[in-house]
Amino acid sequence: MLTGESEARARIERAAAQAEDNLRRAQRMNGELAEVRSVGHSRDGGAEVTVSASGVLVDLHVTAKLAQRPAEEIRAAILQANAEACAQAQQQVREVSGRWLGERSESAAEMDRHFGSMLDQAATPPEDGPRGSAGSGVLR
């Protein structure tokens, strides 16, 4: 019976070691995801947007030339740049999750769906509410 007990303890120790290894790998993957930054540009080059892996706006640059344009044109340029940055962020997330979880794994596919949903929302402009106008201070 001692052999059965020893084998059970060994299995438990292996499982605990595997769980610790999985936790370390997940922490490293999360660290990589936290460092993801993607940059997008408007077609005319007047706006540059940087987003995180989840589509959070991290930085925005607008050229002086674009800043002189009507609010709707500024808005359109920023939204173009944001959509491009979000698409690039999704690709970076796919690369990170594929590297850590396996490109064809269900876990990587689930991460792609999760981050894809967040990035789609971040890249989609609101369709309701005021659009702003020159001098209004609002670029919605």
**pTM value?**
0.78
Query: Does a structural domain hold residue 23?
Result: no
Per-residue pLDDT at 45: 95
- Inside any domain, residue 62: yes
Residue 128: its pLDDT value, please?
Answer: 56
Q: What share of the chain is helix, strand, coil (3-state, %, to 5)?
A: 60, 10, 25
Length of the chain counted residue by residue: 140
AA identity, residue 94: R
Q: Residue 4 — pLDDT band, cuts 50, 70, 90?
A: confident
Q: What domain count does the chain have?
A: 1
Note down the domain range covering 58: 34-123
CATH number of the domain within which 110 lies: 3.30.1310.10
- 92-130 pLDDT tens trace: 999 999 999 999 999 999 999 999 999 999 998 877 544
**Within a domain: residue 87?**
yes
pLDDT at 134: 46
- The answer to the question of residue 129 being in a domain is no
Whether 7 is in a domain gets the answer no
- Give the pLDDT mean for 1-23: 88
Tokens for 57, please give them: 């706006």
Task: Tell me what the mean pLDDT of segment 17-30 comes to.
Answer: 92
132 in a domain, yes or no?
no
Burial class (CB in 10 A: 0-12, 13-18, 19+), 59: exposed
Alpha-carbon distance values, 101 to 19, 108, 119 (Å):
15, 6, 20
Q: Is residue 43 part of a domain?
A: yes
pLDDT tops 50 at residue 85: yes
Q: Would you say residue 41 lies in a domain?
A: yes
